[in-house]
Structure 1
């Protein structure tokens, strides 16, 4: 974009600051939302509250857990044997998708109308590009 003499350096600086702050604020809110959802999921599993954990799964993931275990979600999630996730170490958000790295687990989340939900958990990074992560719990 080219600035004309009428906008001047001061006006263009203010516009640039507004654009940068607006972008950072939205990104920070998405990062915080994804991180908090992942923490709630990890806390529910650590407390043995698999029903609450299921409520934090995306619909397709919840259905897959039930289908894989041929049981209600809470029992299937318990049987998945996910490791205690630990503390959040970092989050990468790309639009409505997020990857949350925790001390002992990696979670994938998506933003739905109801908020951030876990789409995959118990994920381990793989050496191949074809399958960058293998996840114990994931949607279909």
Structure 2
């Protein structure tokens, strides 16, 4: 009976490990994005956006990098929490909330400069 409990406990641990969600990758992507923005590496930060966000951001005749620099996004800071749902994630940093989507080449920023609004969705300075 004791072996059965040990075997069941081991099986439960293996199943839980198999269902673990990788929160480190989206957290790193959000941190890299904010590091690039803070260093005024706007072209590099634009390359971390979803295609739709990069297209939607600039006004006609403006580049993504110029538009991103004009947004003056706040500091990112340390990661305080990460939630992942399939291919979507939200990373809360000390100074921002960033929404990401996972593509075949990695996590890309869908929205940044986001602040919660009472009973409404987030209000984001940048979104796709």
Unaligned runs of 5+ in 1: 1-7
Aligned to 2:127: 138
Higher helix share: 1
Higher strand share: 2
TM-score between both structures, scaled by the size of structure 2: 0.90
Aligned to 1:79: 70
Q: What displacement does 1:10 show?
A: 4.1
Cα deviation, 1:83-120, whole Å, max 9, x if unaligned, reads: 12222111111111111111111100111111001000
- RMSD (Å) for aligned C-alpha atoms: 1.7
Matched, 1:64 2:56: yes
Aligned to 2:16: 20
Cα deviation, 1:41-64, whole Å, max 9, x if unaligned, reads: 000000000001001101111111
Q: What displacement does 1:11 show?
A: 3.6
Aligned to 1:102: 93
TM-score between both structures, scaled by the size of structure 1: 0.83
SS of residue paired to 2:23: helix
